[in-house]
Structure 1
Amino acid sequence: MISYDLTAFGAPLARNEQPTPTPQGSEVLVRVLAAGVCHSDIHIRHGYYDMGNGKRLNMGDRGAALPLTMGHETAGEIVAAGPDAKDAKIGQRVVVYPWLGCGQCKVCARGQENLCLKGRSLGVFAPGGYADHMLVPHARYLVDIGDMAPEQAAPCACSGLTMYSAIGKIDPAVLKDEHVVVFGAGGLGLMAVGLLKALGNPGAIVIEPDAAKRAAALKAGAAHAIDSAAPDAAEQAKAAAGGAVWAALDCVGTEQTVGTGIAMLTKGGQFVQVGLFGGKVEISTPSMPMRAVSYEGSYVGNLGQLQALIALAKTGKLAPLPIDARPLDQAEAALQDLEAGKVVGRVMLKPQ
């Protein structure tokens, strides 16, 4: 088995070759067909998240251990299964749900493994998809993708699931009637645009500094795409929304995007943040109840939501994400290009 591993925080990925594992117990071995390169992988590679005011949340403090095979957006084919993996079907093409919990606590029992405080997410705390094979602890974490292209199915495990969960937090009446402002048109933002359209929203209003990404957002179905560098970007967004912004999704997560997004909400508006870029914001406490606005964080999604998302994608209503397919040995270059802002859509690593 060949993998590209993080052996030291901040260092380039290293090629590793070892015997392909034999699944034990309930484990399932998946041959990787496509593995997405996500912006979260940049944070993991650097070894920390920027918490603002010079503070950092270190990956080591979160429980990450090296060496680590990153990659949490993975689609592949089941090639082997342990003796207790009764539901595994050899040859079935699947997307891997990576946001595993401990499986023992009441949070996991509720079906919210992504919120487990003892999470063991694949590609973050356990080996992930930057490899030609991936070991999954149980068949229940595998979702059948049918005839979907693996490179389109794989992003559903993170960028798609993250936005599906975040959109689900918006008031259904607002989602039906009002434009939703989306900050950023990277992999997350483009997923948001496509999902909003597929779910019957009037159309996203995208705020993004990169012209190529704004063009991609319009092609994906955005109603408007606004240059965030424009001095009147917030006013343009309000006008495009008909004078009142009822909901905003932040796929970036900087001090500027959070501050701008909360400020532009109308009374009773909702702001949902999924981006992890970093920073810190100050909020006037009286303004929250007086304006009746909400500021909520959303972290990926649960297994049931991934199953629902894949079912939606199979209908053909979800616009395909722009894909830059590359060989597995270009994993390091892909990370560098993503960090430099050179990627439109998603880079997919495809083992030979």
Structure 2
Amino acid sequence: MRFFCIEEFGAPLAAAEKPQPVPAGREVVIRVKAAGVCHSDIHLWEGGYDLGAGRKLSLRDRGVALPITMGHETVGEVVALGPEAEGVALGERCLAYPWIGCGQCQTCRDGFENYCAKAGYLGVHRDGGYAEYLRVPDARYLLPIGDLDPAQVAPLACSGVTTYSALKKLGDQIERQPVLVIGAGGLGLMCIQILRALGGVGAVLVDLDPAKRRSALEAGAIAAVDGAAPDALAQIAEALGGPAQSVVDLVGNEKSAALGFDALAKGGTLVIVGLFGGTAPWSLPLIPMKAARIQGSLVGNLAELRELVALARAGKIAPIPVTRLPLDSANDALVGLREGRFVGRAVLCP
């Protein structure tokens, strides 16, 4: 099988071939139909995250061993089952849940494998979907998608479940006031659809890119604001009908976090999802003075992805724009994503 892997952080992905994997035990092998290209892949490709003040979190030091095949948003057709695998059938098309833990610790037993300290994520710690075939360690991580379009479904494994989990942390506040969403890329567009499916009032999007703001409006956003505008906060308050009770920051840099915090009402909640990097921009006294809740949200758990796929199969989530590319375009897809050339999601289709 053909695949693309990181052999050296920051270097172009290497194209290579090896035999098709043979499943053992509870493993399942799927033939990849679609593999989303996510901004988290950029961080993995570059080897770390910007912690601000000249510091960097090294993924090598965090247990990521090279070479590694990226791709954590993967849909494929089941082509081989290990002797102990059960729960899926040959020929079934499934979305792979990538945020796999050790399965033994209390965190995993509580259903939060995505928080496991001994993570074995597909496309990060285990080889992922930038390949013709993918080995999945257990059939329970495969979610049947029926007749849905694989390229449309693949982003649910990250951009979808990430925004779904973040919105669930806001509780019923989404039903009382629009949510301020910072970032109108693939996650932001997905957020608009998921809010609608959850019965939310709607979303006000913020983005620096006018093309992405237009795309957000076309997707159903109540308003789309240029975050660099001198009166951005006033525009946001007008669109929301007052200060924001709920903010989801899908960018996660110093400017987006500052804007999100400044837009908050007293008692409001800021959920930070994005990983662009930097240091916290808030003055500490303002956090208690605003009674602000600031919460991080890391992807989503398996139960949440099951709920999300059920919504998609029920037709309650409209597809976001996708750019379909051949597997051989993996390097071009990463560069294009880093340069902001895609609206929605780029998806590799081997």
The 8 Å contact of residues 329 and 348 in structure 2, kept in 1 or not, is answered as yes
**Structure 2 CA distance for aligned equivalents of residues 88 and 196 of structure 1:** 30
The match for 1:30 is 30
Deviating more after overlay: 276-285 vs 24-33: 276-285
Q: Does 1:307 align with 2:306?
A: yes
By how many angstroms is 1:287 displaced? 2.4
Q: Deviations over 1:248-292 (max 9, x none)?
A: 110100101101111110011000010000100143333223321
Unaligned runs of 5+ in 1: none
**Structure 2 CA distance for aligned equivalents of residues 29 and 272 of structure 1:** 36
Q: Deviations over 1:207-256 (max 9, x none)?
A: 11111111111111100001112111111001111012110110100101
> 2:18 is aligned with what amino acid?
Q
Give matches, 1:209-248, under 5 Å.
209-248=208-247
By how many angstroms is 1:72 displaced? 0.2
**Structure 2 CA distance for aligned equivalents of residues 22 and 169 of structure 1:** 40
Q: Partner of 2:248: helix, strand, or coil?
A: strand
Q: Partner of 1:108: helix, strand, or coil?
A: helix
The 8 Å contact of residues 249 and 271 in structure 1, kept in 2 or not, is answered as yes
By how many angstroms is 1:58 displaced? 0.5
**Structure 1 CA distance for aligned equivalents of residues 72 and 134 of structure 2:** 11
The match for 1:132 is 132
> 1:261 is aligned with what amino acid?
G
By how many angstroms is 1:87 displaced? 2.0
Q: TM-score, normalised by structure 2?
A: 0.99
Q: Does 1:104 align with 2:104?
A: yes
Q: TM-score, normalised by structure 1?
A: 0.98
The 8 Å contact of residues 214 and 226 in structure 1, kept in 2 or not, is answered as yes
**Structure 2 CA distance for aligned equivalents of residues 138 and 231 of structure 1:** 51
Deviating more after overlay: 230-239 vs 128-137: 230-239
Unaligned runs of 5+ in 2: none
Q: Does 1:180 align with 2:179?
A: yes
Give matches, 1:59-98, under 5 Å.
59-98=59-98
Q: Partner of 1:60: helix, strand, or coil?
A: coil
Paired residues, what number? 350
The match for 1:150 is 150
Q: Partner of 2:295: helix, strand, or coil?
A: strand
The 8 Å contact of residues 267 and 292 in structure 1, kept in 2 or not, is answered as yes
Give matches, 1:33-44, under 5 Å.
33-44=33-44
The 8 Å contact of residues 187 and 344 in structure 1, kept in 2 or not, is answered as yes
By how many angstroms is 1:185 displaced? 0.5
The match for 1:7 is 7
Q: Deviations over 1:160-218 (max 9, x none)?
A: 0000000000031x110101111011111111111112222222100111111111111
Q: Does 1:344 align with 2:343?
A: yes
**Structure 1 CA distance for aligned equivalents of residues 302 and 282 of structure 2:** 33
By how many angstroms is 1:88 displaced? 2.8
Q: Partner of 2:237: helix, strand, or coil?
A: helix
The 8 Å contact of residues 257 and 281 in structure 2, kept in 1 or not, is answered as no
By how many angstroms is 1:32 displaced? 0.3
Runs of 4+ in 1 over 6 A off after TM superposition: none
The 8 Å contact of residues 161 and 301 in structure 1, kept in 2 or not, is answered as yes
The 8 Å contact of residues 197 and 221 in structure 1, kept in 2 or not, is answered as no
The 8 Å contact of residues 120 and 126 in structure 2, kept in 1 or not, is answered as yes
Q: Deviations over 1:117-155 (max 9, x none)?
A: 110100011100000100000000000111111011110
By how many angstroms is 1:104 displaced? 0.8
Q: Partner of 1:295: helix, strand, or coil?
A: strand
What is the alpha-carbon root mean square deviation over aligned residues? 0.9
